[in-house]
């Protein structure tokens, strides 16, 4: 698999290119960034780091493809330490 590429398509929306023509839509709501204390961090930077964490944990790939729009906050929050790791990496 090629390295995933993230493109911002709107203020809270992104398209993740997974390689081999595979892609999925992602959303990162403002209230998620605010709840993490990351309102001063650009949405693309937060989303990119969230995607890296998901990729490192093997949660990125076929399970996201074709699932409509994925909420990055919900995806990263599936692991109890996910939000804390994201906050730590971006502080």
> Model confidence over 60-84: pLDDT tens digits?
765 565 567 889 999 998 888 999 9
Q: Indicate the pTM of the whole model.
A: 0.87
Domain chopping of the chain, boundaries: 5-90
Name 90's Cβ contacts closer than 8 Å, sequence gap at least 6: 38, 41, 45, 46, 49
pLDDT in tens, 3-42: 789 999 999 999 998 877 888 899 999 999 999 999 899 9
Residue found by looking up tokens 């839509």 in the block: 25
Q: Say how many residues make up the chain.
A: 91
């Amino acid at each position: 698999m090629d390295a995933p590429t993230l493109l911002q398509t709107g203020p809270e929306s992104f398209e993740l290119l997974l390689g081999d023509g595979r892609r999925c839509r992602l959303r990162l709501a403002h209230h998620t960034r605010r709840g993490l204390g990351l309102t001063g961090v650009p949405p693309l930077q937060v989303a990119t780091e969230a995607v890296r964490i998901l990729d490192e944990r093997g949660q990125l790939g076929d399970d996201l493809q074709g699932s409509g729009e994925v909420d990055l906050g919900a995806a990263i929050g599936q692991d109890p330490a996910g939000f804390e790791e994201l906050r730590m990496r971006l502080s």
